[in-house]
């Protein structure tokens, strides 16, 4: 019997963990609830960031190695339980990510037209059977958008909403998404941050891109760059913030572009306090803020209404618990020490965690590699210490078959990959994402047709 390790999730952390295990000569079964692998590299990273998305090619090479199998379209916690995985495998590594949204907790947040960035990103990346707000119906009526948040995801959303048809032409977005974005009458996109530019978490490369768009001009308010004592103090130790402030100051000096079809309006020190409208979003209510000399945020009592048709809330991703797995609901992560899942003070034998659900939604894709390798080191040490019981996964494979579940395997994924490239080539693009689960499964099945 060849003992195997189960990895739950085929995002970067799952693929890096699998690769590290394979390098030790171990065998791995990777489960994903979606019919396709790579998690947020496929359904998060902005489609116009072609070079970052090409990380997929590196992750894809892991499937070519001996000893790995893919079980796509199998949701752990629904189709198979953690207990079944624990008894069916020598160890289980949970890498299922953190893909829910955080809320603002303000009045009007549930009005039609107030949406989470998680939904908007899922729509434009072609998440299988996307079932969130109907952007194909909404965007044709939207001329003004507020994006709340000052991280890289907020900047992605602003950029995707502001790019021209030509600038999006080479992406792998589904055709209907490209058509909807092309026809949307968007004239103004406002980026709203509660604190100042020094406290923003976007990176300089992403910020600069906003100033280089074909049809959009960026506007920054001069007073937002008159830094208070606290922010000046922070700049000294923060190179990214210092570069960001430099870029924003350059933009203030730049003459306004007369030819721009759209404006990107950057508003710092503006706290959303309510969203207003009769049936759908009509206004975002903001309060001007400032920082105290200790860096505390306080309202100034000056309010302003921003007329907008769409509010996109981009204030962070959040992990969710998995049935029968301990969860730290304060930090929305699985409690662990060096990747060993903790139940109270004791490690749960044979259960490990890596990636966003271990650390929270921070860091770049590469951060997950170090994180996954660290977790695999704990698995190896526990094996060495004789703490794990060998098992080859056959009981789990048998249970899936008994339940009528036909997982997407590597050959199925390869068929999907080839078909998406073929759809793209027909339109002069590298790929077009297939966004229907039924279609993905039908294409996968062709890999096994006799």
Ligand X SMILES: Cc1cc2nc3c(=O)[nH]c(=O)nc-3n(C[C@H](O)[C@H](O)[C@H](O)COP(=O)(O)OP(=O)(O)OC[C@H]3O[C@@H](n4cnc5c(N)ncnc54)[C@H](O)[C@@H]3O)c2cc1C
Measured CA to CA, the distance from residue 365 to residue 367 in angstroms comes to 5
- Residue 217 or 444 with smaller CB distance to ligand X: 444
- Residue 31 or 135 with smaller CB distance to ligand X: 31
Q: Say which residue the tokens 């004791």 belong to.
A: 346
- Residue 209 or 392 with smaller CB distance to ligand X: 209
Radius of gyration of the chain (CA): 23
Contact set for ligand X, span 48-67 (CB under 6 A): 49, 52
Using CB under 6 A as the binding rule, whether residue 168 contacts ligand X is answered as: no
Among 28-36, 216-224, 283-291, 404-412, the segment contacting ligand X (CB under 6 A): 28-36
Among 2-10, 140-148, 188-196, 272-280, the segment contacting ligand X (CB under 6 A): 2-10
Measured CA to CA, the distance from residue 23 to residue 1 in angstroms comes to 19
Q: Give the nearest residue (CB) to ligand X.
A: 11
Measured CA to CA, the distance from residue 197 to residue 214 in angstroms comes to 24
**220 is written with which tokens?**
């920054």
Cα 176–Cα 182–Cα 186 angle in degrees, nearest 5: 125
Least distance from C-beta 321 to ligand X, angstroms?
A: 11
Q: Among 89, 127, 317, 352, which residue sits at the site for ligand X (rule: CB under 6 A)?
A: 317
Contact set for ligand X, span 254-313 (CB under 6 A): none
Using CB under 6 A as the binding rule, whether residue 8 contacts ligand X is answered as: yes
Using CB under 6 A as the binding rule, whether residue 334 contacts ligand X is answered as: no
Least distance from C-beta 42 to ligand X, angstroms?
A: 8
Among 10-18, 161-169, 211-219, 236-244, the segment contacting ligand X (CB under 6 A): 10-18
Q: Which secondary structure element, helix H or strand E, spans residue 401, and what is its range?
A: helix 394-402
CB 46 within 8 A of CB 117: no
Using CB under 6 A as the binding rule, whether residue 11 contacts ligand X is answered as: yes
Q: Among 99, 180, 231, 244, which residue sits at the site for ligand X (rule: CB under 6 A)?
A: 99
Using CB under 6 A as the binding rule, whether residue 435 contacts ligand X is answered as: no
Q: Beta strands 310-313 and 144-148: pairing type?
A: parallel
CB atoms within 10 A of CB 390: 12
Q: Which secondary structure element, helix H or strand E, spans residue 243, and what is its range?
A: helix 239-253
Among 35-43, 58-66, 287-295, 426-434, the segment contacting ligand X (CB under 6 A): 35-43
Number of residues binding to ligand X, judged by CB under 6 A: 35
SS (HEC) of 262-294: EEEEEECCEEEEEEECCCECCEEEEEEEEECCC
Measured CA to CA, the distance from residue 414 to residue 444 in angstroms comes to 8
- Residue 291 or 365 with smaller CB distance to ligand X: 365
CB 21 within 8 A of CB 132: no
Measured CA to CA, the distance from residue 271 to residue 273 in angstroms comes to 6
Q: Among 26, 29, 31, 311, which residue sits at the site for ligand X (rule: CB under 6 A)?
A: 31
Using CB under 6 A as the binding rule, whether residue 325 contacts ligand X is answered as: no
- Residue 87 or 263 with smaller CB distance to ligand X: 87
Q: Sign (positive/negative) of CA torsion 427, 433, 439, 442? A: positive
CB 173 within 8 A of CB 135: no
Q: Among 7, 153, 189, 306, which residue sits at the site for ligand X (rule: CB under 6 A)?
A: 153
Using CB under 6 A as the binding rule, whether residue 339 contacts ligand X is answered as: no
- String marking each residue 171-200 x if it binds ligand X according to CB under 6 A: ------------------------------
Measured CA to CA, the distance from residue 150 to residue 113 in angstroms comes to 20
- String marking each residue 111-140 x if it binds ligand X according to CB under 6 A: ----------x-------------------
- Residue 318 or 383 with smaller CB distance to ligand X: 318
- Give strand pairing partners of 280: 112
Q: Which secondary structure element, helix H or strand E, spans residue 317, and what is its range?
A: strand 317-318
Q: Among 35, 44, 197, 393, which residue sits at the site for ligand X (rule: CB under 6 A)?
A: 44
Q: How far is CA 367 from the centre of its chain?
A: 14
Using CB under 6 A as the binding rule, whether residue 95 contacts ligand X is answered as: yes
Q: Among 35, 47, 88, 97, which residue sits at the site for ligand X (rule: CB under 6 A)?
A: 97
Greatest alpha-carbon span in the chain:
72
Measured CA to CA, the distance from residue 118 to residue 100 in angstroms comes to 7
Using CB under 6 A as the binding rule, whether residue 82 contacts ligand X is answered as: no
Least distance from C-beta 149 to ligand X, angstroms?
A: 11
- Residue 49 or 69 with smaller CB distance to ligand X: 49
Q: Which secondary structure element, helix H or strand E, spans residue 375, and what is its range?
A: helix 367-384
The residues that touch ligand X, with contacts defined as CB under 6 A, are 8-14, 31-34, 39-41, 44-45, 49, 52, 75-77, 95-97, 99, 121, 153, 156, 317, 355-356, 363-365, 368
């Amino acid at each position: 019997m060849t003992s195997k390790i189960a990895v739950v999730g085929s995002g970067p952390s799952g693929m890096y963990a699998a690769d590290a295990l394979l390098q030790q000569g171990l065998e791995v079964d990777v489960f994903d609830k979606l019919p396709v692998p790579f998690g947020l590299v496929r359904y998060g990273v902005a489609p116009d960031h072609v070079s970052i998305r090409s990380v997929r090619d590196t992750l894809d090479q892991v499937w070519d190695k001996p000893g790995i199998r893919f079980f796509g379209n199998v949701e752990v916690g629904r189709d198979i339980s953690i207990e079944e995985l624990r008894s069916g495998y020598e160890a289980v590594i949970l890498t299922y990510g953190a893909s829910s949204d955080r809320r603002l907790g303000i009045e009007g947040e549930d009005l039609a037209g107030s949406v989470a960035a998680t939904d908007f990103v899922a729509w434009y990346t072609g998440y299988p059977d996307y079932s969130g707000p109907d952007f194909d119906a909404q965007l044709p009526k939207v001329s003004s958008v507020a994006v709340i948040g000052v991280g890289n995801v907020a900047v992605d959303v602003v950029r995707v909403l502001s790019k021209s048809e030509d600038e999006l032409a080479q992406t792998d977005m589904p055709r209907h998404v490209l058509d909807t974005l092309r026809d949307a009458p968007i004239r103004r996109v406002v980026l709203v941050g509660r604190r100042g530019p020094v406290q923003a978490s976007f990176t300089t490369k992403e910020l600069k891109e906003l100033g280089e768009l074909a049809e959009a001009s960026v506007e920054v308010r001069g007073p937002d760059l008159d830094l208070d004592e606290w922010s000046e103090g922070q700049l000294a130790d923060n190179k990214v913030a210092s570069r960001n402030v430099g870029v924003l100051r350059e933009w203030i000096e730049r003459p306004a572009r007369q030819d721009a079809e759209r404006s990107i309006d950057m508003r710092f020190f503006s706290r959303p306090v309510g969203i207003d409208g009769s049936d759908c979003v009509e206004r975002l209510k903001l309060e001007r803020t400032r920082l105290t000399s200790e860096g505390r945020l306080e309202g100034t009592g000056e309010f302003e209404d921003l007329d907008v048709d769409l509010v996109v809330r981009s204030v962070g991703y959040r992990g969710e618990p998995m049935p029968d797995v301990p969860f730290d609901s304060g930090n929305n992560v699985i409690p662990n020490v060096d990747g060993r899942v903790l139940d109270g003070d004791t490690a749960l034998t044979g259960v490990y965690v890596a990636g966003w659900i271990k650390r929270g939604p921070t860091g770049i894709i590469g951060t997950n590699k170090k994180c996954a390798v660290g977790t695999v080191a704990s698995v190896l040490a526990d094996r060495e210490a004789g703490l794990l019981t060998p098992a080859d996964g056959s009981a789990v494979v048998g249970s899936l078959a008994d339940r009528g579940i036909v997982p997407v395997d590597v050959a199925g994924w390869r068929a999907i990959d080839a078909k998406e490239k073929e759809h793209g080539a027909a339109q002069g693009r590298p790929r077009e994402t297939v966004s229907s689960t039924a279609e993905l499964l039908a294409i996968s099945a062709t890999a096994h047709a006799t």
